[in-house]
Structure 1
Amino acid sequence: MDITASAKSTPDNPVVDRNEWRDARLKLLELEKEETRLRDKVRAARQRLPWVKVEKDYAFDTPAGRKTLAELFDGRSQLLVYHFMLGPDWDEGCIGCSFFCDHIEGALPHLNNHDVTWVAVSRAPLEKIEAYRKRMGWNFPWISSFGDDFNYDYNVSFSDEERASGAVEYNYRKVSTNEVADEEHGMSSFYRNEAGEIFHTYSTYARGGEEVCGTLMLLDRAPFGRNETSTMSFLKRHDEYEAAPKEKGSSCCH
């Protein structure tokens, strides 16, 4: 992990007695409660959003063959799609998307039991997805939208014409093409009713999915936090970390 020397070696937190620490902690607790109440309000507002009926027919390459958007629901009424950054000419998946998806498999039984299907979608051809999946050791559903409009319509891929204009829409605003990658990430939600109609209910981009990443939430409670020099600068793919040296006598077993 890339931990900055200044963050690790020169903390400037005051050292106080237990009573003074408790007073400070109680003040922080009030902020945490305020954050929780705001999060509840945001969640309620999210679930009250109006929906948009999906009129276009989308199709995806999957290990089980070609599937429509309706078939991705796998018999459930709700679908979460993670827009995974892996373009047709990329050699490996995005580091941040890989980090995000490291958190998914343990949640799948719980999501499925709650009538929710989860799937990752990338624009890379299926064989490239399967090769990277094998490298990462993942088993979650991951499919290809190669040759389909899906990624473009949900604003995570951008046409040559859009890029030539100098600005594209990402995260609900026009941004310079210099501010976005060839592919971008996000998560979209869909509902399918008993009549088979599909509705787009929600999409989030950029930092909107951070709460799903348990590692970030844990780091936020560690003494040095995320130790970032820029957003998520500490990240590597999970097979790229070097074994961190342990301090002498720090092993829990010896």
Structure 2
Amino acid sequence: MTDNAMPSVADRADFEVELDELRVREKAHSREADAIAAARRRLPMVEVDAGITVTGPDGPVTLLDAFEGRKQLIAYYHMWHTGHPAAEQCPGCTWCNGAVGELSYLHSRDITYAVFCQGPYDESRRYRDFMGWTMPWYSAVGSLDQLLVGRTIGQMYLVCYVRDGDRVFETYWTTLRGVEVMDNSYHLMDLTVYGRREPYEDSPAGWPQEWDMSLIPHILSTNGRPIAQWSRLEAGHSDDLTAR
């Protein structure tokens, strides 16, 4: 990056002309996203055993119970490194779940959001509490082979379910960059002139791109920790995940 890496300067009229040209592409992108969402709503579904258990604060509950009586369930499968300290837990999953705050809008559409952690309940729940998250939290250990059939255990996933009475069906799932739908920070970065500052982006010469995607998970960490942990530590939250 050079000290003067900036866009060219234009007057207001020329700026608006080029912005209007970009708007045409943005609107086409929005329409295509709407079309993809429409196709997603028309996918077939596959039945899942509603009696598969996950562990919550009161012990084992069924997948059906995790709906909390609502029609739909979005489950985020949080990666976990059992026995490792908070500083070594997944920066990507910390990034994703850190963007989930207000759940009332999902609830108004009859959707429950919950985390199905791929690690033990007590240890991972302490991480949830350290981060100050409030979403329902379960451990899916022991049931991952059934819940993630055909997928690689240990990766991050969003999985969508719908129920018909006491029957549960899986309707959609995504992984890797698909989980970006959870994050507002990246979407806001994409609106700025420097973008995400990551080398894979197509940017003009000299643009800052110091957040190297090849160094995952370091693009979501600073000073050896997931970025979001530092504010919790500064606020006096304990990151001790050991039994107590």
TM-score, length basis structure 2: 0.79
What displacement does 1:240 show? 2.7
Q: 1:218 maps to which residue? A: 188
Q: CA-atom RMSD, angstroms?
A: 2.0
1:207-246 equivalence runs, <5 A: 207-228=177-198, 229-231=211-213, 234-236=219-221, 237-240=227-230
Q: Is 1:115 matched with 2:110?
A: yes
Q: How many positions carry a matched residue from both structures?
A: 208
Aligned partners of 1:85, 1:154: CA distance in 2, in Å? 17
Aligned partners of 1:138, 1:154: CA distance in 2, in Å? 30
Q: 1:79 maps to which residue? A: 73
Aligned partners of 1:202, 1:152: CA distance in 2, in Å? 12
2:16 to 11, 18, 22: 22
Aligned partners of 1:222, 1:146: CA distance in 2, in Å? 40
TM-score, length basis structure 1: 0.76
Query: What percentage of residue pairs aligned between the two structures are identical?
Result: 28
Q: Give the unaligned 5+ runs of structure 2.
A: 199-210, 222-226, 232-244
Residues 92-121 of structure 1 deviation map (CA, whole Å, 9 limit, x = unaligned): 331111111112121x11111211011011
What displacement does 1:89 show? 3.9
Distance of aligned partners of 1:55 and 1:88 in 2 relative to their CA distance in 1, 3 Å threshold = same
What displacement does 1:125 show? 0.6
Q: 1:200 maps to which residue? A: 170
Letter in 1 for 2:119: A
Residues 208-249 of structure 1 deviation map (CA, whole Å, 9 limit, x = unaligned): 1213211111111122211123347542331237xxxxxxxx
Letter in 1 for 2:140: S
Runs of 4+ in 1 over 4 A off after TM superposition: none
Q: 1:35 maps to which residue? A: 29
Q: 1:132 maps to which residue? A: 127
Letter in 2 for 1:83: Y
2:57 to 44, 58, 63: 63
What displacement does 1:88 show? 2.9
| Secondary structure of 2:113 counterpart | strand
| Secondary structure of 2:138 counterpart | strand
Q: 1:167 maps to which residue? A: none
Letter in 2 for 1:77: K
Letter in 2 for 1:188: V
Q: Give the unaligned 5+ runs of structure 1.
A: 1-5, 158-182, 242-254
1:95-110 equivalence runs, <5 A: 95-106=91-102, 108-110=103-105
| Secondary structure of 1:88 counterpart | coil
